[in-house]
Homo-oligomer: A and B are copies of this chain.
């Protein structure tokens, strides 16, 4: 073992969320290993497998809260297909259309130049690049 497990309760308090049993369990699964792309359903299944009771509605609530708190980023790639991404840094995605897989790629090698300025009255929020590929 290389390190102690992070103090998720403290992290949650930091962003203004009470460290409830289910929020901590969700955080553990989400942030315990490398970066991940999950759906509400897939995350729900995973957490239930850890024997901690969580309702699907709670998973949705929590994912939305984590997103709003900046802990997660939401990526929409197809109708009815919304992923939550634990990688909140600058990066883009490959989306494999056949099976719905999502893969990160770093944005530091990618240059996007010549973007027009935002429509008047608006300010830039984020630039999403999705590279769609097929098998």
Residues in chain A within 8 A of chain B (CB atoms): 74, 76-82, 94, 96-97, 103, 105, 109-116, 118-119, 121-135
Contacts and interface: CB of A to CB of B under 8 A. Distances in A.
- Please state the number of chain copies in the assembly: 2
B118 A109 contact: no
A32 to B, nearest CB: 25
Interface centre among A74, A113, A133 (most CB of B within 10 A): A133
A111 B114 contact: yes
A122 B115 CA distance: 28
B122 A134 contact: yes
A20 to B, nearest CB: 25
B131 A115 contact: yes
A107 to B, nearest CB: 9
Given A111-B113, A119-B96, A131 B127 contact: yes
Give the 4 A-B CB pairs with smallest separation, nearest first.
Answer: A122-B133, A125-B132, A109-B114, A118-B133
